[in-house]
Structure 1
Amino acid sequence: MQKIKIIPLVGIEFDDITIALYSSCEDVKNLLGEPYSTRDDSLYYFNNELRFDFDDDGKVEFIEFLGSIDGELQPIIYDVPAFQSKADTLYNILREENRGDIDDSEDGYSYGFLNISVGVYRSSIPKDVEEMIKEADEAGEPMDAGDIEEERRKADYWSTIGIGIKDYYR
């Protein structure tokens, strides 16, 4: 497994490769090769688990890991595994490192840590899972234990983590 480190406001380190924010599209391609896919102003690598967004000048303005807990890419940020750490644990670490305003307008589904330009996202929160279980029970179609466990996993861990240039989330 590759060692991947996310360094807010700087970029990412892949084993011995560093891709900095503000790198050119050509720099990314020279370091990682041809992308797995491209969409709009984005390059995707590693089966679409890593995305680079570019500004109007063709410079990296945002890097996002999309593989979640089950992905091949398991980045580390502030010395903790971003996807293997419980959502609340990582939130608390990012909050502490951020030392300031957090965009929490999406009620727990995502957060933007404004001072360190880090964002995290998940498609459901624990409350959603409990409501889903209750609704299934009330409908006379209880969820099986495997489905409940899978839904709880999605709610308990972040699905994506991204870093942007300074003030990206403002």
Structure 2
Amino acid sequence: MKKHFELIPHVGARDIRFGMTKKEVISILGEPENHSKKSVFEYEGEQIESPEQLGYFENELQITIDGERGVDFIEFYGKEREKTDVFFKNIDVFSNTATELISKISELTKEKYDSEHTELPYTVIFRNIDLSLWRQIISGDEGKYFWTIAIGRKDYYRE
């Protein structure tokens, strides 16, 4: 049976809330199947921080932990989901086409996506509610639906 998650901007998903510690997340979901510790890597001469992440449900759920802030980003992968069902305001996120989903989110939240974001139409960000949608391909059947949805703590996309 799939786990049902309802995304609530600036609050969290299901029992996982922004600001929780790693220990609190583990007390709810158990030990993660995948765990990557905070690290720094170099890319094209720049030092880039990679935050700590906890992976659940065969990585359909990724939770990012900021050491000082606790949970600060929650992302669901839905392209080939088998373990989770993800909803936003009662909308089954991964059963709606990209166009339908953008329209429904805009209508229900009265928010517009960032139409000047450099990664459009692959990435769509609703900055005021710190929600993002992503797909790797935009053409054909694979591009018809978003592959991920994520929410961040308040002002996640403003920093």
TM-score by length of 2: 0.81
Between the aligned partners of 1:98 and 1:90, the Cα distance in structure 2 is: 13
Q: Is the 8 A contact 1:10 1:21 kept in 2?
A: yes
- The 3 A distance-change label for structure 1 pair 44 and 98 is farther
In structure 2, the residue matched to 1:43 is: 54
Deviation track 1:70-95 (CA, whole Å, cap 9, x = no partner) reads 44212010111111111111111223
Instruction: Report whether the alignment pairs 1:104 with 2:117.
Output: yes
Matched, 1:11 2:12: yes
Larger radius of gyration: 1
- CA distances 1:43-96 after superposition (whole Å, capped 9, x unpaired): 000111101101131600000001325442120101111111111111112233
Spell out the pairing of 1:88-127 with structure 2 (5 A cutoff). 88-96=99-107, 97=109, 99-100=111-112, 102=114, 104-126=117-139
Rate the CA distance shift 1:5–1:100 in 2: closer, same or farther, 3 A: same
Q: Secondary structure at the match of 1:5?
A: strand
Question: TM-score of the superposition, structure 1-length normalised?
Answer: 0.77
> Which residue number in structure 1 is paired with residue 97 of structure 2?
86
5+ long unaligned stretches in structure 2 = 38-51
| Structure 2: distance between partners of 1:88 and 1:120 | 11
- Structure 2 SS opposite 1:155: helix
Q: What's the offset of the Cα at 1:38?
A: 0.8
Partner of 2:43: none
Per-residue CA shift, 1:90-131, capped at 9, x if unaligned?
1112233152452632120011110110011001112xxxxx
The percent identity for this pair of structures is 31
Please report the RMSD computed on the Cα atoms of aligned residues, expressed in angstroms: 1.7
Task: Provide the rounded CA distance (Å) in 1 between the counterparts of 2:80 and 2:53.
Answer: 23
Give the distance between the partners of 2:112 and 2:96, measured in 1 at CA: 22
What amino acid is the match of 2:101?
L
Aligned residues: 141
